[in-house]
């Protein structure tokens, strides 16, 4: 076992880099479909996420210059460092998509999705399906690395397709030799989806394999079953990973990043955000979405976020239902203002 406080101090004091990208805090926002758009990325960066990622983006859509696909790649300088995650099953298409993204958008890094377990992705041979054919994984990886030029290429992957085909012991050095600059491991299989427990021992195995690699190791980023800031510390201690990637724990909770950073520095955990704080953040998230995506798309996208922000107080379920079923922008704004004003009155 790692010595907790000593290991965490060492983790913070060493420079965490991916290629030449220096990352201030080793706690990253995971790419999440339909979630990690501009509005949410900005909030998480403001609250201490060391790095953020786009939603995963189809290589086919990129090379066709599909407007909806390309809208998912846009980002502002305030979001840097940022990674763009792409997926696909054809090495040539992935190569062209990588070149297009690097040339047109100039992200800090490109990430290859070898982890998505969703059937509509894997049925096309993309996402975690590549783990069933490591030769295809190699071809896709080489194609993207070759097309990306000086932009670092990373991989986010699952442990394998199913429990009988765990690839972690072999795939780390394999990807490293192909030029990958970091690997994020979610240690469930594709067939598990999000059920059962993530096997963190596989993250430790990957760390050990890469550290023993004669060409030198590359960073390993742990992911999976992070629910509270203390879990981040535990993952560092148990696995020896270089950074932790956070997904669902950040939903409706961008404060997760500064709370975790405080723990990593050995400080007491900051106070849990109050209901007023959550309402204010929800309102800001809403306005950022409207500004970025327009009224119709912004209101539709925000409906799921209401469920993550508006919770934990008497009557929350009823208010959430009203917000989710509201007719449009002005009704939602009025409800949020009313909820905020009631909170202010309560404490005055």
In this model, does residue 196 exceed pLDDT 80?
Answer: yes
Q: Which of 86-100, 169-183, 288-302, 333-347 has the lowest mean pLDDT?
A: 333-347
For 127-135, what is the mean pLDDT? 93
DSSP codes, 297-335: HHHHHHHHHHHHHS-SSTTHHHHHHHHHT-SSHHHHHHH
For 56-77, what is the mean pLDDT? 95
In this model, does residue 345 exceed pLDDT 60?
Answer: no
pLDDT at 1: 38
pLDDT at 3: 44
Q: Which has more pLDDT, 45 or 212?
A: 45
For 85-100, what is the mean pLDDT? 97
CA-closest candidate to residue 183, choices 13, 324, 18 = 18
Q: Give the burial string for 315-324 (b: 16+ CB within 10 Å, else e).
A: eeeebbeebe
Q: Is 37 left (phi over 0), alpha (psi -120 to 50) or beta?
A: beta
Question: Other C-beta atoms within 10 Å of 67: how many?
Answer: 8
Q: Which has more pLDDT, 143 or 12?
A: 143
In this model, does residue 170 exceed pLDDT 70?
Answer: yes
In this model, does residue 263 exceed pLDDT 70?
Answer: yes
Cis link prior to 6 (omega < 30° from 0)? Answer: no
For residue 346, what pLDDT band results from cuts at 50, 70 and 90? low
**How many Å apart are CA 331 and CA 315, to the nearest integer?**
18
Q: How far, in Å, are 99, 212, 218, 283 from residue 177 at the CA level?
A: 21, 13, 10, 47
CA-closest candidate to residue 178, choices 120, 137, 207 = 137
DSSP code, position 2: -
Name the percent of the chain lying above pLDDT 70.
93
Q: Which has more pLDDT, 270 or 338?
A: 338
Encode pLDDT of 229-262 as tens digits: 999 999 999 999 999 999 999 999 999 999 999 9
3-state secondary structure of 17: strand
Name the percent of the chain lying above pLDDT 90.
78
Catalytic sites, residue numbers:
116
Say if residues 129 and 122 touch (Cβ distance below 8 Å): yes
DSSP code, position 191: T
Q: How far, in Å, are 199, 222, 239 from residue 3 at the CA level?
A: 20, 18, 11
CA-closest candidate to residue 115, choices 186, 219, 40, 204 = 186
**How many Å apart are CA 90 and CA 211, to the nearest integer?**
31
Mean pLDDT (the chain, rounded): 91
In this model, does residue 6 exceed pLDDT 90?
Answer: no
CA-closest candidate to residue 184, choices 251, 243, 140, 132 = 243
pLDDT at 15: 53
For 295-321, what is the mean pLDDT? 91
Say if residues 55 and 30 touch (Cβ distance below 8 Å): no
pLDDT at 217: 73
Q: Which of 60-69, 263-272, 280-289 has the lowest mean pLDDT?
A: 263-272
Encoded tokens for 130: 């590549």
What domains does the chain contain, in order, with CATH numbers? Answer: 4-264 (3.20.20.70), 275-346 (1.10.1200)
DSSP code, position 30: P
For residue 339, what pLDDT band results from cuts at 50, 70 and 90? confident
pLDDT at 122: 93
Instruction: Report angle CA 46, 158, 50 to the nearest 5 degrees.
Output: 15
Q: Whole-model pTM?
A: 0.92
For 151-165, what is the mean pLDDT? 95
For residue 283, what pLDDT band results from cuts at 50, 70 and 90? very high
pLDDT at 2: 42
For 288-295, what is the mean pLDDT? 94
Q: Is 240 left (phi over 0), alpha (psi -120 to 50) or beta?
A: left
pLDDT at 314: 84
pLDDT at 169: 86
**Which residue carries 């955990």 as its tokens?**
269
């Amino acid at each position: 076992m790692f010595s907790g406080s000593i290991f965490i101090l060492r983790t913070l004091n060493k420079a965490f880099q991916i290629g030449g990208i220096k990352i201030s805090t080793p706690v990253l926002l995971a790419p999440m479909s339909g979630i990690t758009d501009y509005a949410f990325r900005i909030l998480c960066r403001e609250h201490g996420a060391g790095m953020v990622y786009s939603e995963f983006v189809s290589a086919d859509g990129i090379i066709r210059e599909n407007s909806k696909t390309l809208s998912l790649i846009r980002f502002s300088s305030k979001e840097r460092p940022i990674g763009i995650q792409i997926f696909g099953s054809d090495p040539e298409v992935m190569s062209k998509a990588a070149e297009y993204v690097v040339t047109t958008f100039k992200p800090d890094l490109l990430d290859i999705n070898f982890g998505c377990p969703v059937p509509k992705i894997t049925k096309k041979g993309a996402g975690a399906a590549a783990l069933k054919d490591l030769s295809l994984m190699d071809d896709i990886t080489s194609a993207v690395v070759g097309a990306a030029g000086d932009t670092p290429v990373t991989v986010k992957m699952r442990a394998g397709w199913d429990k009988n085909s765990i690839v972690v012991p072999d795939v780390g050095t394999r990807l490293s030799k192909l030029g990958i600059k970091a690997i994020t491991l979610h240690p469930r299989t594709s067939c598990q989806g999000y059920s059962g427990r993530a096997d963190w021992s596989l993250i430790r195995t990957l760390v050990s394999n890469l550290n023993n690699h004669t060409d030198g190791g590359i960073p390993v980023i742990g992911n999976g079953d992070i629910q509270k800031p203390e879990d981040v510390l535990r993952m560092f201690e148990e696995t020896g990973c270089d950074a932790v990637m956070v997904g669902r724990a950040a939903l409706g909770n961008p404060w997760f990043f500064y709370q975790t950073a405080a723990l990593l520095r050995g400080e007491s955990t900051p106070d849990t955000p109050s209901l007023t704080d959550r309402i204010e953040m929800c309102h800001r998230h809403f306005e950022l979405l409207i500004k970025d995506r327009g009224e119709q798309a912004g209101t539709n996208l925000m409906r799921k976020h209401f469920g993550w922000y508006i919770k934990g107080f008497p009557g929350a379920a009823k208010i959430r239902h009203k917000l989710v079923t509201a007719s449009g922008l002005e009704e939602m704004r009025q409800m949020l203002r009313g909820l905020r004003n009631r909170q202010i009155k309560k404490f005055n």
